[in-house]
Structure 1
């Protein structure tokens, strides 16, 4: 948060209380909220009463456990209907394109495909083929594999059981066990690498955009294999992580 004069410190206290409630697997009681927000119980109780009056929290059961109110469902629908990941991410992806001098793609998950929302071309004379609005296979593309790395176990198993792993290029992964291992590696390191699996002689590095358990999309850096040396790949990962963290922070 920028260093600005803040009006209404109680709003920040209310936010801290709701943030804590949001992270709890089981609705907390007053004592737990007080202990974890570093506020005395009297202050917390007064704020909770006001939040309950506004519909922001609910108090239920004999133990008086607090959970977020259903009013947030309406807020979330409004946010989702007006939110534009393309507009938010584009300044950071433009910087990424300028830092790497390679093509940057942004996509979202839609109907078991990665649909491209935007493409920032490399200044190089050699252009890579991809169309805005086109759906990419999840298992062959860097953006797609990044999105797969955000799937939970049930979602990933369902994808594997309903998707035929076709051979698109000589490097395409068509063995389920190998794909599972590849996605697990991507999940652990926070990015996915596509080594000529979707287009011959094209290497891509993909990064998921995830915050608070919600996946907003993914982006990738794409380049012809002949000009990607080890140091170039390291820079793709370095600058990609920077862009990823800045986009997530801006969400």
Structure 2
């Protein structure tokens, strides 16, 4: 291990723990180094923008370069890769079809599908658009957009009936979206395909914006209220963890979805 690099990184970690930063004497005491060594380390970190000095208090705190790099890291995260282990666990727990859906340019798109161990024929395909108004994932994404944006999408895409259960009245759908947001997850009972019931939860990014949804789909005959209540806990746990991997504060998930 390179001692100078180790010390520089330790300074960054220490400074990040205090809102008003650290003074040179405090850092010297913490690292058990003389002040001249601390000054040299701080000067290097300041040159690269990782540390800055408050001109009034003379204390050192995190610089904006750290924030810029953090944002780049979060922006570059691959949601499919980050979600993969949690989707696989859901498949193992439920033996049902698992979907990962993202929200992109006012559309919901399937980017992953795990088939489960049970035989279930569905129209969904990776790369295809998920109907926003009649799938659990689509409705969950709509629910966590602003009502203005949700209505824009409804007006743009329309509400074509896929089955006799499809919600085709805009106000009825908006009411359904309100209910989804209140309970934190979406349910769709044969609104997209006869014989299939689905449940979905939201995924949030580091900005707290809706990024997509995870859904579990199965035959309606085994997706009754009791089973959905069990699946709800599984899928919400997955949604919380995937959101965390995308930079969302995991401890806020249950509060945020309400």
Give the one of 136, 142, 148 matched to 1:142: 136
Unmatched 5+ residue regions in structure 1? 1-5, 18-32, 60-65
Count of paired positions: 224
Pairing partner for 1:192 from 186, 195, 199: 186
Name the CA distance, whole Å, in 2 between partners of 1:206 and 1:159. Answer: 19
Q: Contact conserved, 1:121 with 1:127, CA < 8 A, in 2?
A: no
Check conservation: 1:140, 1:173, Cα contact below 8 A.
Answer: yes
Matches within 5 A, 1:95-106: 95-106=89-100
* 2:48–2:65 Cα contact (<8 Å) kept: no
The yes-or-no answer on 1:11 pairing with 2:12 is yes
1:139-218 correspondence to structure 2 within 5 Å: 139-212=133-206, 213-218=208-213
Unaligned runs of 5+ in 2: 1-5, 27-38, 54-60, 247-258
Larger Rg: 2
* Cα deviation, residue 72, structure 1: 4.8
Compared CA separation, residues 122 and 164, structure 1 to 2 (3 A): same
Among 224, 242, 245, the alignment partner of 2:237 is 242
Match of 1:221 among 202, 208, 216: 216
Contact 1:115 1:136 in 2 (8 A): yes
SS in 2 for 1:173: coil
Instruction: Return the alpha-carbon distance in structure 2 between the equivalents of residues 141 and 214 of structure 1.
Output: 20
| C-alpha contact (below 8 Å) 2:12/2:50 kept by paired residues | no
Q: Is the 8 A contact 1:103 1:128 kept in 2?
A: no
Aligned with 1:88 (options 61, 82, 88): 82
Pair 78,201 (structure 1): closer, same or farther in 2 beyond 3 Å: same
Preserved CA contact (<8 Å) 2:145 2:210: no
Give, in angstroms, the shift of residue 158 of structure 1.
2.2
Deviates further, 224-233 or 200-209: 224-233
Structure 1 194/67 Cα, relative in aligned 2: closer, same or farther at 3 Å?
A: farther
RMSD: 3.6
Matched-pair contact (CA < 8 Å) for 2:90–2:238: yes
Match of 1:118 in 2: 112
| Residues 248 and 111 (structure 1), Cα distance of their counterparts in 2 relative to 1, 3 Å cut | closer
TM-score, structure 2 length as denominator?
0.71
